[in-house]
Amino acid sequence: MNFVVPKEKYLNRIPVISFGKEKKIFIGGENTLPFLKFEGEIPHKPLIAYEIQDAPPEDYPEELAKIYSSFWHDPVEWAKFCIELGAEAICLRLMSSHPDSQNTSAEEVAETVKKIISSVHIPLIILGSNHIEKDSVILPVVSEVARGYNCIIGKAQEANYRTIAASAMAGGHNLIAMSELDVNLAKQLNILISQTGFPKEKIIIDPMCSALGYGFEYTYSVMERIRIAALMQGDDILCCPMIADVGFYVWKTKETQASYEENPSWGSLYERAIMWEAVTACSFLMSGAELLIMRHPKAIEIVKNFINDLR
């Protein structure tokens, strides 16, 4: 008797999100769990966006500074460098707008966005600084400036989703909905955003990321539960692509910063830091993320190979 591979039946299909203007890119569209291509279709590969910031970063550790410090005084140059490195998408984080940073105004960050969209012709994710009040001021202006460029805007949270969702809708963008590590809160935020009239099929869920060793398993398990609810319980509200904002969390950990001399048993900082980002990223692909935001080119290369090997 021939062995027949038992197959799970799934009740839903993740919507396809397309973003970008001249060059469009697609994520989502699968009707099976990550990489289980024998059980369903996975039409689009997970995507990695290279993160850049609108001003020289205040907290990039040495391993990142080595690569980016000669470009980061100008976000356009920085973006172009990422494209040279092979970036398929760019994530611009408007970190300078944070009140504890330079507290730049909506008009100032909008100027940066204008420059980027006129000179960078690959799909763009535009993020605020995750400051609830400030994001609700700058993101509507940014959405308007980038109107028609079909970006991904983020992040809308429970305390500021109204203005951000309304402006993202007016600008024709996709929207990242970020909740705090809880499957029920993720669902609730999606309901609230949908109730504003924002199209559900343009929502990307961010269940709040974390780094390996720093609450990683919480994010992993929330992502897993969201995806299982969507595909196996037929929960339409949670049936959305997911994003993992990997670099932002990974490059804050001491494992990406402590030198060899500080702790010889940890081995080389270069390899350790890269692997910290790569392993965190690969794990979130396993739990369902379709979109990753990452920083180190070498880590990105490792994750890309991982994706291609598993497909």
Partner 1 sequence: MLVIGERLSIMSKRVREAMQRRDKETIRQISIEQYKAGAHMIEANIGPAEDEGEELMEWMVTTIQEAVPLPLSLDTTNPLAVEAGLKVHNNEWGKPLINSTSLDPERFVMFELAAKYNVPIIALTVGKGGLPRNAEERVEIALQLIEKATEYGILPDDLYLDPLVLQIATSQEQAKEVLKSIRLFRELNDPPMKTIVGLSNLSNGCPKEIRPILNKHFLALLMYEGLSAAIVNPAEVMETIKTIKVIMGNTLYAHSYLEI
* Site residues (vs partner 1, CB under 8 A): 183-185, 187-188, 191-192, 195, 229, 233, 235, 237-238
Q: Are 243 and 227 in contact (CB under 8 A)?
A: no
Amino acid code (one letter) for 66: K
Minimum distance from residue 179 beta carbon to partner 1 (Å): 10
Minimum distance from residue 290 beta carbon to partner 1 (Å): 20
Minimum distance from residue 222 beta carbon to partner 1 (Å): 12
Minimum distance from residue 180 beta carbon to partner 1 (Å): 14
- What's the alpha-carbon Rg for the chain, to the nearest Å? 19
Minimum distance from residue 174 beta carbon to partner 1 (Å): 21
Minimum distance from residue 132 beta carbon to partner 1 (Å): 19
Instruction: Find the Cα–Cα–Cα–Cα dihedral 76, 77, 79, 85, rounded to 10°.
Output: 160
Closest CA to 62 of 267, 304, 302, 295: 295
CB of 144 or CB of 224, closer to partner 1: 224
Amino acid code (one letter) for 8: E
Distance of alpha carbon 101 from alpha carbon 108, whole angstroms: 14
Q: Are 55 and 96 in contact (CB under 8 A)?
A: yes
Distance of alpha carbon 289 from alpha carbon 246, whole angstroms: 11
Contacts 24+ apart (CB under 8 A), 78-83: 78/52, 78/53, 79/52, 79/116, 79/119, 79/120, 80/119, 80/120, 82/50, 82/52, 83/120, 83/122
CB of 105 or CB of 188, closer to partner 1: 188
CB of 43 or CB of 234, closer to partner 1: 234
CB of 33 or CB of 127, closer to partner 1: 33
Minimum distance from residue 35 beta carbon to partner 1 (Å): 24
CB of 12 or CB of 18, closer to partner 1: 12
CB of 85 or CB of 191, closer to partner 1: 191
CB of 235 or CB of 245, closer to partner 1: 235
CB of 187 or CB of 296, closer to partner 1: 187
Q: Where are the alpha helices (DSSP H) in the chain?
A: 62-68, 75-84, 106-119, 132-145, 161-171, 183-195, 216-232, 246-250, 269-286, 297-310
Distance of alpha carbon 93 from alpha carbon 79, whole angstroms: 12
Minimum distance from residue 161 beta carbon to partner 1 (Å): 13
